[in-house]
Amino acid sequence: MGSPYGLELVDNCVYCKLRTDSFFCGLPKESLDAFEKLKFTAAYPAGAVLFVEGQAPRGIYMLCKGRVKLSTTSADGKTLILKIVQPGEVLGLHATVSNTPYEITAETGQPCQLNFIKREDFLRFLQSHGDACLKAAQHLSRDCQSAYQQIRSLGLSHSAPERLARLLLEWSHGEGADEGGTRIKVALTHEEIAQIIGTSRETVTRTLADFRKKQIAVLKGSTLMIRNKPALERLVGA
């Protein structure tokens, strides 16, 4: 196989180190072996589209390496980003489980490795492995939660600075701070940030400039530096 798109492939789920903290975490070896037999591993370049909203579900994708962008687009071309998916998560689960069209679009943001499992295979797998089915339910409930989060953010925090502040805080979650603040890597353009919080690119630029002026946070290149977390928390009204 080599290293397509500059990726080192992981080729066995049983020994994958993600196993400890992700979807199949804690599954008995037996279930994992069954899973292993069904999967198709593939590598994708940056910018590849895995599925598009409206398509009939083909199956699930499990992300091993890279980042995937989940988004939805309106008839007039506006795009909203729902989530940036991290390795260990599963894509297309709801559509596959309920056999309804994918309602979101998944696009790789960088070279990625994914395992694909066909719909029928996956459903059969869930039916015969109760423990995996429970995991799937848990995964779905986490998806629901993050969706509800976003609904709160879009529906209740009407001002753009507030929503941006909320996003920055979310990113800073679980990151260590040194003197001078929290340093975070974000590989997103202003445009994409705008699409996450439902505003325009210009507003993101302006608001970030404002945050910089007020010494709250500085985004330079792909490094975000949070200098005054309490100020952010005050902005979101918590």
- Give the nearer residue to a copy of itself in terms of CB position, either 80 or 184: 80
Taking CB under 8 A as the binding criterion, the range among 44-52, 140-148, 167-175, 223-231 that sits at the site for a copy of itself is: 140-148
Position of tokens 């309602």? 103
- Ramachandran angles phi, psi of 107, nearest 5°: -135, 135
What is the distance between the alpha carbons of residues 133 and 137, in angstroms, rounded to a whole number? 6
- Which partner in DNA, a copy of itself, none is near 8 (CB below 5 to 8 A by kind)? none
- Give the nearer residue to a copy of itself in terms of CB position, either 14 or 156: 156
- Which partner in a copy of itself, DNA, none is near 75 (CB below 5 to 8 A by kind)? a copy of itself
Number of residues that bind a copy of itself (CB under 8 A): 46
Q: Is residue 155 packed enough to be buried (19+ CB in 10 Å), middle (13-18) or exposed (0-12)?
A: exposed
Q: Of 40, 59, 161, 144, give the one whose Cα is nearest residue 102.
A: 59
What is the distance between the alpha carbons of residues 153 and 144, in angstroms, rounded to a whole number? 14
- Which partner in a copy of itself, DNA, none is near 176 (CB below 5 to 8 A by kind)? none
What is the distance between the alpha carbons of residues 4 and 126, in angstroms, rounded to a whole number? 31
- 202 sits near a copy of itself (criterion: CB under 8 A): no
Residues 145-174 binding a copy of itself (CB under 8 A) are 145, 147-152, 154-157
- 140 sits near a copy of itself (criterion: CB under 8 A): yes
Does residue 94 contact residue 147 with C-beta atoms inside 8 Å? no
Q: For binding to DNA (CB under 7 A), which residues are involved?
A: 158-161, 189-191, 198-203, 205-206, 208-209, 221
For 63, the token pair is: 């992300």
- Give the nearer residue to DNA in terms of CB position, either 58 or 67: 67
Q: Is 24 helix (H, G, I), strand (E, B) or coil?
A: coil
Q: How far is the CB of 163 from DNA (least distance, A)?
A: 8
What is the distance between the alpha carbons of residues 198 and 212, in angstroms, rounded to a whole number? 21
- Which partner in a copy of itself, DNA, none is near 168 (CB below 5 to 8 A by kind)? none
- C-alpha torsion sign, points 228, 187, 72, 61: negative
Q: How far is the CB of 54 from a copy of itself (least distance, A)?
A: 13
Helices (H), 4-129: 29-38, 93-98, 119-128
- Which partner in DNA, a copy of itself, none is near 218 (CB below 5 to 8 A by kind)? none
Neighbours of 114 (CB within 10 A): 25
Q: Contact positions toward a copy of itself, by CB under 8 A? A: 72-76, 78, 80, 82, 93-95, 97-98, 100, 103-104, 126-128, 130-131, 133-134, 136-138, 140-145, 147-152, 154-157, 198, 236-238
